[in-house]
Copies of this chain bind each other. A is one copy, B any other.
Amino acid sequence: MKPATLRDVAAAAGVHPGTASRALNSATQNLVNRGTVARVIKVAAELGYQPNPIARSLKTSKTGTIGIVIPDLTNPFFPPIVRGIESILEPAGYSGLLVSTDGDLSRERTQVAALRARQVEGLIIATALLDHPLLEELGDMGVLTVMVNRRPHLTNAPSVIPDDAAGIRLAVEHLASLGHRRIAHLAGPANTSTGVARARAFQDAVADLDLVSDPRLIVTCKAWNEDAGAHGLRELLATSSDFTAVVAGNDLIALGCYDVFAERGIDCPREISVVGMNDMPFLDKLRPPLTTVAVPHRQLGEESARLMLDLLREPDRPIRSVTLPVSLVVRASTAVVSDMNIAARDRHR
């Protein structure tokens, strides 16, 4: 037998469908006689009535869905963000529609179009580039958007990001306290806000702490992954091997360094110290356990969902962006400088 409709409920309760609708909807319940409300609710329960959200959407042109755009679900950075988003959306009666772009702009375009076709009420975007054509279009089209983990130029959409500058400073200070003076930075891609913010923070920290500032010590990786990290470190080793530590743009880049360590027999941390960023899962079980900067992934998601909900509920409220605090997690990929480092310098030069 087919699922009960509002009409069935109304008929069984002896009222008009309109009345049944009001009785079942908490916002309009107070316009209906108490007794009637009770009766309708009771009948609805008996019939196992479930409102059809499709029909409601068609009428109200509200779907109760938010699009979530991430590069790749397979990157451990994103699942906690997604969970965070959904943990806030769900109790608010919204649900998320997830798409992966694989970092491909054209795929992103079609995915976003599909989301729009499905009438999402807003978009939470984790794939933003510093200059992102699609974002501008979205802004022009009046699509509600919040950025998570990235803060692009030229858009005043709300965003929530970790405190990149503080994180990098924590990393550099940690290394400096261990006696490192020539510290390298494997920066993330220059077209991402996180990439440039972290690189800038690195330079500032190096300057403030009076460490060696040498442009050859900063290499920009093409992507936020292991391959790019490995590539970056090889480049660094080729041009200037006299550094004793590296601050990686993120954990995956740091893992790329591990690959190079293995391939060249470099002893981490005795020859080179590394610190990552993000504190993704299982880092404590690596060889060696990776020192990193923990960013509150889940909270990143939660805050972005809250921002979205605010946007939906109070469209006129001035937009705001939030920055979340980070913390240093010291493990075993960083150590005090020693003669080993000096020896390594010559060996790998």
Contacts and interface: CB of A to CB of B under 8 A. Distances in A.
Interface of A: 50-55, 57-58, 63, 72-74, 76, 79-80, 82-83, 86, 95-98, 100, 113-114, 116-119, 255, 258, 281-282, 285-289
Q: Which 9 A-B pairs have the closest CB atoms?
A: A287-B287, A73-B79, A74-B79, A54-B57, A54-B58, A285-B286, A50-B117, A58-B58, A55-B58
A285 B79 contact: no
Most chain B CB inside 10 Å of its own CB: which residue of A72, A76, A80, A289: A76
B285 A119 contact: no
Given A50-B116, A287-B289, 19 more contacts: A50-B113, A51-B117, A52-B58, A52-B117, A53-B119, A54-B54, A73-B73, A73-B79, A73-B82, A74-B80, A74-B281, A76-B281, A95-B114, A95-B118, A255-B282, A258-B285, A285-B287, A287-B287, A287-B288
Main SS of chain A's interface residues? Answer: mixed
Given A281-B76, A282-B282, A100 B86 contact: yes
17 contacts: A50-B117, A51-B117, A52-B58, A52-B117, A53-B119, A54-B54, A55-B58, A58-B58, A76-B76, A79-B79, A83-B100, A95-B118, A98-B98, A255-B282, A282-B286, A285-B287, A286-B287
A119 B80 contact: no
A74 B79 CA distance: 5
Given A117-B50, A255-B285, A285-B286, A83 B76 contact: no
B114 A52 contact: no
A175 to B, nearest CB: 21
A57 B118 CA distance: 11
A303 to B, nearest CB: 18
Contacts of A281: 74, 76
A323 to B, nearest CB: 24
